Structure 1
Amino acid sequence: MTAGGYLDHLQKFGVHLGLERIRALLKRLGEPQVTFQAVHVAGTNGKGSVCAYLSHILQAAGYRTGRYTSPHLLDWNERIWIGGAFISDGALQACLATVKTAAEHLPKSLGEPTQFEIVTAAAFLYFAQSAVEVAVVEVGLGGRLDATNVFEPPLASVITSVGLDHCEQLGSTLAAIAAEKAGILRSGCPLVCAPLSPEAMQVVTKKALALDVGITLAEPARAVAPGEAQWQGIRYRLPLAGGVQLQNSATALATCQVLRGRGLPIDETSIRAGFENTVWPGRYQRLGERLLLDGAHNEDGAVALRAYLDCLHPKASIRWIVGILESKDAQAVLRALLRPGDTFVAVPIPDARSHPPETLAFMAQTMGLSSIASASGFSEALRLGDTERLTVIAGSLYLAGAVLREWPRLQKR
C-alpha cells in the first residue's frame, strides 16, 4: 500500500482529540520531538501563511529548518518540508512504516491512533532523522488537545487569529475557541499573538498571566507600495496577495523578534530573502487573468477574500464557483462572499463530504442572487455563464487542491 493509501485508510478512525495516544506513540519512537526546537503556531486563519514565512526566513538565516502543516493540497508529502523540499515518497513510506509498527505495540486501551496522529509522528520522526535544528509546526485543530501539542516547551508559541470554526469540536463562542488555542502556551515560553477580539484576548491574556508567559502583540504592517510593506522600520516585499498578509507577515516578523531573544540570530537580510522565497498555493492564487483560486472555508476567510476583491475590483460582479465541506457553516461563508449582481455555480468537493450543490444554490438564491446554477464539478462549472467575467473558485482548501490537481489537464483542452 502506498503512503497516501495507508493514510487515507486511517481516515475511518475520524478525529479524536487528546494527547494520550500521541504521547505514547512518540515514546515508542524514542521521543523524536525533543531532538529539535519548535515554533508552535495555532489560529483559526493565517497560520499556514505565517508558517510559510517563518520557515523560509529561518532557512535563509542558515538554520536547518523543518515545517509541518495541514491540510495538503495535492499530496501528503506537502505536509512535511525540510529546507525547501517536501519529504520524498520513499522517506515518507519508511517513516510511516516505522510509526505503524510502533502503533501496533500501543496498549489497546488507548484505541487506534488517528490519521493525524500517525502523520504527525511521522513528521517528527523525519525531522529527528534529518537533524532538523528548528521546526515550524502548525496546529491541526484547536491547540490544547491537538496532536502537535507535545513540546515542553517550544521556542515560541504563536496565535494568528481566533474565529468561529470547528465549533463542534472547539466550542461555539470566541472565548471557548480562544481557550483551546491558548492551550499551546507553556510556562516560560513567550507568546506572539495577533490582535484578537476583546472576548478572545481576555481569555488568552488570563492564560498567559497564569503561566507567567510574556505576550508580544503583533500589530499589522502597513502597505507602502504595491506588493511592499513596512513593519517597525523593516521594509519588505509581500509575496502573498491580500490585505490579510499585512497581519500575517507582521506576526511572522514579531516571532522573529522573539526568536532573536531566544538565541536565534535572524538578520534583516535573511528576513527579506525569506519573504522573497515564500510561496503558499491555494490562497488568492491567480490561475489566469480572470481566474482566482482561494481556500476560504470559514466566515473570517470569506470576509477577507471579499474585501480583497472589492479593493482590487471595486465595481466588478463576480462569477463564483463554490464548494463547501459539510462540516462548515455554508450560510456564513456565502453571506460574506456574495453580492447582488454576482453569479453563482455550486459544485461538490471531490472525495469529501460537502454540502450538496443544490443546497448551496438554494442558499445563494435566498441571498438575492438571480443567476444561480449547480454543476457536477468545477470543470463543468468553468464552462457555465460568462467566461469573460472575473471568476473566483472558493469555499474549501480541499476544493482548491482538486482544482490544482486538474488544472494542467484543463489547460490543454
Structure 2
Amino acid sequence: MDQITAILDRLLALHPKEIDLSLGRMERLLAALGHPERRLPPVIHVAGTNGKGSVTGTMRAILEAAGKRCHVYTSPHLVSFNERIRLGEGGRIVDDAKLFDALLRCEEANAGQEITFFEITTAAGLLLFAEEPADVLLLEVGLGGRLDATNVIDRPLASVITPVSMDHEKFLGSRLGEIAGEKAGIIKPGCPVVVAPQEPEAEAVILRLAQRLRAPVHLFGQDFTAFQDHGRLAFQDEEGLHDLPLSNLSGSHQIINAGVAIAALKAAGLWPGAEIAARGLRKVNWPGRLQPLTHGPLLEKCPEGAEVWLDGGHNPGAGVAIARFMGEQEERHPRPLYLVSAMLTTKDPVGFFRPFEGLARHVACVPITSSTTARDPFELADFARVAGLEATPFTRLDDALADIVACAQKDGEPPRILICGSLYLVGEVLAANGMTPR
C-alpha cells in the first residue's frame, strides 16, 4: 500500500458517515491550518446537479488559452484521487509528494477529531491552492452547496448554478425547490451569479435568494443565450453576438454548458475575447462525459467495428441528455444500442433509464468493485425492466461485453455501446483500458 492510499484510508475512518453536511468541522480545521481559504486566488464557485465538470473544464480551457494559471478542484475522481486537484500553469494534476504533504498536515492539524473524508481532503486542496501561485481558482462544489465543504469562500468573482435536477434527495430534500435552495447556498451578497437553464420551481428559488442577497443575476435565456448555428456555437448577450467553434465535448447539452462557462467568465471579468476563447473551446477535455473509446485492451473485447462511449451521468437529468445524444447518433448512423450500466444505491435507476426506452436494445447490468455502495446487478436489472428496457445482470464486465459480442454476431452489424450510470464504473473502465486522466 503506497503512502497516498494509506493516508486516504486513515482519513476515511475519521467519521462514521461518508456524508454529513455541516460547515462547523471544516471551519475548525481551516482555523487550525491558519485559514488558507483567506489566501486563495480569485474564485469562481460552481454548484448544480449536471454539467458542473463540463462548465469548469470549459472555463479552464479558455483561461489557459489566455495564458492564465488555473487551480481547479473537482470531484469525484475517475482513476486517481490526485485528479481532484489541478495546480497552476498548465492545470497539472497534483503530484504525490505535494498531495501527501498537504494531507498529512491536515491530518495532524485535525488531531483525530471527527471530520468527513470530503471535508478534510477539501481542506488539503485549499491548503495547496493558497500556497501555489495562480490567477484563478475554479472551485466545484462536492454535494449541494449551502453546507458543502467548499462553501467557505466569502467573495467569489462569480457563483455558477448549473442545471438542477433530482439527486441526493436523502441529503438535499425531496422536492426540486429544496434541492435548488441548497445549491443556491453558494450565492454571496453582492457577488454575480450565473444561472443555467432551470425548471421553473428551481429557477424561482435561485432568483429569490439572489434578489435577497442583491447578487447581480446573469440568467440563461434572459441575459445571455447560446445555440448551435450552422455547426458553430453562437453566444449572445447584451454586448452582442460571438461566433465561436463548438466545444470539443460531445452532446447538444454542451452548447448550454459552453454558454454558461462563457457567461461566468464575463461576469467574473475574465473574458479574454472571442479569438482566444475559440482556441480554448477546441481544446476542452473532460473525461468520462460522452467520451469515445477508440483504442485499448477493453475495446478489443467489444465486437469488431463497435462504437463505444463512456458517460458517468447518473441521474434523470443526465439520462435525458445522454439519451438525446444517442438518439442523434442513431439518426445519423443507425446501429443497435446496448447499454452497459452500473449504479450506486443512492441513485434513481428508473429515472435514469426511462429516456432510453425505445432507443436501447438491451441493458447489461454489471457490478462496481471500487465502491461499497454499488447496486447489485440483479436488482439494477429489475429497475431497468421497470423503465421499459430489456436487461440482464452479469457478475463481470467482461461477461457483459462477451454477451454483446454474441448478440452482434446475430445482428450481423457492429453495435453502439454506451457504458454508463456511474463515474465509478467509468473510472474502472478507463483504468482497465490504461487511460488515466492527465
358-367 vs 250-259, which moves further: 358-367
Confirm or deny: 8 A CA contact 2:37 2:153 kept in the other structure. Answer: yes
Distance in 2 of aligned mates of 1:135 and 1:304: 28
Cα distance change of structure 1 residues 400 and 341 upon mapping to structure 2, 3 Å threshold: closer
Distance in 1 of aligned mates of 2:286 and 2:79: 13
The code of the aligned residue for 2:217 comes to I
Shift in Å at residue 367 of structure 1?
4.1
Instruction: Provide the residue aligned with 2:53 in structure 1.
Output: 48
Distance in 2 of aligned mates of 1:9 and 1:383: 39
Correspondence for 1:273 among 271, 274, 279: 279
Which secondary structure state, in structure 2, belongs to the residue aligned with residue 72 of structure 1? coil
1:303 matched to 2:320? The reply is yes
The code of the aligned residue for 1:230 comes to A
Distance in 1 of aligned mates of 2:5 and 2:74: 16
RMSD, aligned CA = 1.8
Confirm or deny: 8 A CA contact 2:314 2:421 kept in the other structure. Answer: yes
Which secondary structure state, in structure 2, belongs to the residue aligned with residue 44 of structure 1? coil
1:4 matched to 2:22? The reply is no
Question: How is 1:24-63 mapped onto 2 (pairs within 5 angstroms)?
Answer: 24-35=28-39, 36-63=41-68
TM-score by length of 1: 0.92
Shift in Å at residue 153 of structure 1?
1.2
Shift in Å at residue 61 of structure 1?
2.2
Fraction of identical pairs, as percent: 37
Equivalenced residues, count: 399
Cα distance change of structure 1 residues 341 and 97 upon mapping to structure 2, 3 Å threshold: closer
Question: How is 1:230-379 mapped onto 2 (pairs within 5 angstroms)?
Answer: 230-232=234-236, 233-234=241-242, 235-260=244-269, 264=270, 266-288=272-294, 290-314=307-331, 316-339=335-358, 342-352=361-371, 353-370=373-390, 372-379=391-398
Distance in 2 of aligned mates of 1:205 and 1:301: 23
Confirm or deny: 8 A CA contact 2:349 2:384 kept in the other structure. Answer: no
Confirm or deny: 8 A CA contact 2:44 2:268 kept in the other structure. Answer: no
The code of the aligned residue for 1:400 comes to V
CA shift digits 1:239-286 (9 cap, x unpaired): 0000110110000010111122xxx46222331222222200000011
Correspondence for 1:194 among 193, 196, 209: 196
Distance in 1 of aligned mates of 2:9 and 2:226: 40
Distance in 2 of aligned mates of 1:369 and 1:236: 37
Question: How is 1:116-135 mapped onto 2 (pairs within 5 angstroms)?
Answer: 116-135=118-137
Confirm or deny: 8 A CA contact 1:358 1:374 kept in the other structure. Answer: yes
Distance in 2 of aligned mates of 1:208 and 1:327: 30
Correspondence for 1:154 among 148, 153, 156: 156
Confirm or deny: 8 A CA contact 2:311 2:421 kept in the other structure. Answer: yes
143-152 vs 308-317, which moves further: 308-317
Which secondary structure state, in structure 2, belongs to the residue aligned with residue 392 of structure 1? strand
Distance in 2 of aligned mates of 1:114 and 1:300: 28
CA shift digits 1:112-149 (9 cap, x unpaired): 12111111111111111112231000000000000000
Distance in 1 of aligned mates of 2:55 and 2:423: 17
Q: Which runs of 4+ in 1 moved over 6 A?
A: none
Confirm or deny: 8 A CA contact 2:11 2:107 kept in the other structure. Answer: no
Distance in 2 of aligned mates of 1:255 and 1:119: 26
CA shift digits 1:292-339 (9 cap, x unpaired): 111120000011100111111135431111101111111211212332
Confirm or deny: 8 A CA contact 2:70 2:134 kept in the other structure. Answer: yes
Correspondence for 1:91 among 98, 123, 134: 98
Confirm or deny: 8 A CA contact 1:4 1:75 kept in the other structure. Answer: no
Confirm or deny: 8 A CA contact 2:290 2:309 kept in the other structure. Answer: yes
The code of the aligned residue for 2:433 comes to W
Which secondary structure state, in structure 2, belongs to the residue aligned with residue 327 of structure 1? coil
Shift in Å at residue 368 of structure 1?
4.2
Shift in Å at residue 59 of structure 1?
2.3
Distance in 1 of aligned mates of 2:76 and 2:187: 23
Cα distance change of structure 1 residues 2 and 364 upon mapping to structure 2, 3 Å threshold: same
Cα distance change of structure 1 residues 340 and 137 upon mapping to structure 2, 3 Å threshold: closer
TM-score by length of 2: 0.87
Distance in 2 of aligned mates of 1:303 and 1:175: 20
Correspondence for 1:113 among 96, 112, 115: 115
Question: How is 1:137-148 mapped onto 2 (pairs within 5 angstroms)?
Answer: 137-148=139-150
13-22 vs 361-370, which moves further: 361-370
The code of the aligned residue for 1:18 comes to S
The code of the aligned residue for 1:94 comes to D
The code of the aligned residue for 2:396 comes to G
Shift in Å at residue 341 of structure 1?
6.1
Gaps of 5+ in 1: none
Gaps of 5+ in 2: 295-305, 409-413
Distance in 1 of aligned mates of 2:384 and 2:176: 27
1:23 matched to 2:27? The reply is yes
1:221 matched to 2:238? The reply is no
Confirm or deny: 8 A CA contact 1:348 1:377 kept in the other structure. Answer: yes
Shift in Å at residue 356 of structure 1?
0.9
Distance in 2 of aligned mates of 1:395 and 1:137: 24
Shift in Å at residue 40 of structure 1?
0.3
Which secondary structure state, in structure 2, belongs to the residue aligned with residue 221 of structure 1? strand
Which secondary structure state, in structure 2, belongs to the residue aligned with residue 40 of structure 1? strand
Distance in 1 of aligned mates of 2:184 and 2:337: 38
Cα distance change of structure 1 residues 171 and 341 upon mapping to structure 2, 3 Å threshold: closer
Distance in 2 of aligned mates of 1:297 and 1:88: 29
